[in-house]
Structure formats: C-alpha cells, structure tokens
A and B are shown apart, each in its own frame.
Chain A
C-alpha cells in the first residue's frame, strides 16, 4: 500500500501530486498490478485533502489506464509504467547514473546544475542513438519474452 503526502508550498496542485506519486511508485516498482490504492476517505483523513481532489486524481489515473475502480471494492492498479517491467535494467541504469553524477560533481557541478542539464537533455529531440543505447536496445530485444 502506498502512503500519500501533500506538499502545500509548491505550485503543483494537490490532485496532480497524488497522480505523480502513484506514477512514481509504479516506475520504482513499489506498486504492482493488483495492488489496492488507499480508499478515498483514508486519503482525505490522513492527508487532510478534499475528497474531490482524491477523486479527481483517481479518475485521471483511471483514464490513463493505470488503475481500475472495482464497484464497491476500491481502486486497484491495473497497468504498469516503463522501467518497472525490468528491475535488472533499472538497476543497471541507476548504476550508470550514479557514476555520471559522481563525474558531474567532480567537475564542480552543483545539484541544481545537474538538474538543469538533465532537463535540457530530456527536452532535446530524439536523435541518433548512441553506441551505448544501441547495445542496450539489442540486449533488450534478444531477451526471451
């Protein structure tokens, strides 16, 4: 079961924070298909958020196919997101990133510089894959289903 928390200082609306936390938990493999999300009333009392906010978040997750509402039984995870399918690959990528972050820090970058760099690379149009990416791609397709 996932425990939600609401950051009231930021500019991300509360419902979007709930959606984000479910998506993140899916990506990190903390939630799996079949897992139950907390009941609306539970989130209302534990996070002190409006029921409409929780319902809006659950509806949005349902529309994107990540959860399903079962009549009278609650809301259950029904979909998966990206990396959660392959924990080995996720661990590998995390290892690369750890090394990369160490390099960046050694080069004198601060955490905010790193974030800015990652954001700008993510915003680049997808170009030719690098040799490393091609290698990763071939191992992925070679794996039996």
Chain B
C-alpha cells in the first residue's frame, strides 16, 4: 500500500449542540493531491483546522508525520510588510525554511519583492501567501479555497504550478474547492463530506470506473445489482447512478444503457442530501 499522509479515527467536533464533524475516519495517501469537496457547512474548514492543529477536536484522534501548513481564504499577510519582509517573517516563524522555493514561486508569477503586501492585488496577495506556505516545506499543505479570488486563467496557472511542486517533492496537498468542474485531472483522491460526515473517499479513477449511469424504461429498481446513488424518473424513462464493481462496463440488457460519468456528475450525485439524513 501507499504511504499515509494523514489518518483520522472517529474524529468529531461539536459547537454547542451542533456537530460540525462526526464519526469521521479516513487515511489519506501521501504525495497525492486530495480534492476535498462538500457543500457549505459540510465540515471542510473544520476538518482542515483540526488537521492544522489550530482547533482541538471534541473526540477522536488524528495522526500525521511531518509539517502541516494551512492556507485559508483570509490570507495571513501584514499589509505594511514588503513581500521580501513577508518572506523574512516566514523564515523566523518556521523551523524549516526554503527561501529559494519561495523566491522561485514569486518569480514565476512576477511578484515585485519590494512592494508592500497591502499594495498588491488580491491575486498577487494569494501568490505571496502561497510562497510563504511553500517556503515552510510542508509535508502536508492544506488549501482551504485559497484560489477563490483568482481569475480562471490565473487559477489554472497556479493549479499547474502546485501540481508540479507535488510532482517534484513528497508533499501532499489537500485542496478544498467549490469549483467541482475544475477538479478533473487535478485530484488523485476524492474526499467528499456531507453534513459533517465522510460520504465518499477513494482514488478518483477507481471511483469513476466503479460508477455508471443506467438509462432505460421506467422502473422502480435498476435492472442490475449495485448501490443506487441517485435515481431520476420521468413518465417513461428511469435514470440511475449506480456503484458497481464494473461501472460503465456493467452488462445490461437492451434497451438499457450503461454509460460512464464525469467527476462532476459523481460529486453532484453524492452531494445531494439523502432524505432522513442530517437531523442533528
């Protein structure tokens, strides 16, 4: 098996009567890009804060090796510091510091080192925060929607460079995002939270090869065995999204058809709350 970057066992976090995270267990593979998805309030930020050690869990354990760096949407920059001073600050705040890595990142995106952080654009501030995060040489980098304020082009550039950093090092990245459509080909591993609980966890390609869309005449149950993730019916037609071993290769009798699904289809099907769930 592959190395584990982070292991959670029975993790839970309660705010008064509300469980933001409950019965959460997972083993995340090392040196991978893990896509963390979930609706607002599903527990993504809670999980990341616990993993980063800034929020104590109410119950359960968490284990990991090495250094964890969390980068949230509010960027931890001092407005009066120049970019170069921000790097100095990073060097003093971290036990391990890789100045060259931080400088390389800033150079790639042409960020002026002498400019005060407060005078930079939102996108440039994101780059500085990322440079400081990478300079700390984390073994686990948690990105809580930090790319939200970048334009689509810059977002793709940053994602590409981040993926190259993962390829060049042993770093694991957990990337939480709302933009599900941009995840295809980016994440190796999918972790989906629904109402504070883990709803889906696995290798992206494996998950896609185990799911299929079945379309055929109106019926209440699909014509093959498998876990029904979602079902849609019209007067004459039924569409099921099912999980089976063979996925789109599942043999079905005509007129039934089994077709592959996209990552976005998969995520959306699992994000939809099931009836009877979530009464907390």
Cβ-defined contact, A44 with B260, below 8 A: no
- A interface size (C-beta, 8 A): 22
Chain A hits for B166, CB < 8 A: 50-51
**Binary CB contact string for chain A from 47 to 59 against chain B (1 if under 8 A, 0 otherwise):** 1111111001000
B189-234 interface (Cβ within 8 A of A): 205, 208
Q: Which of B185, B188, B208, B260 contacts A6 (CB 8 A)?
A: B185
Least Cβ–Cβ distance between B220 and chain A, in angstroms: 26
Sample 16 A-B pairs with CB under 8 A, ordered by A number.
A6-B184, A6-B185, A8-B183, A11-B259, A11-B261, A12-B260, A15-B185, A40-B167, A44-B167, A45-B161, A46-B160, A47-B160, A50-B186, A50-B187, A51-B166, A51-B167
Least Cβ–Cβ distance between B172 and chain A, in angstroms: 13
Q: Which of A14, A40, A41, A44 contacts B184 (CB 8 A)?
A: A14
The answer to whether A13 has its CB under 8 Å from any CB of chain B is yes
Which of A8, A9, A51, A56 has the most B CB atoms < 10 Å from its CB?
A8
Q: Which of A9, A14, A40 contacts B264 (CB 8 A)?
A: A9
Chain B hits for A125, CB < 8 A: none
Number of A-B residue pairs, CB cutoff 8 Å, is 69
Interface of B (DSSP majority class): helix
Cβ-defined contact, A49 with B186, below 8 A: yes
Least Cβ–Cβ distance between B153 and chain A, in angstroms: 11
Which of B156, B160, B182, B259 has the most A CB atoms < 10 Å from its CB?
B160
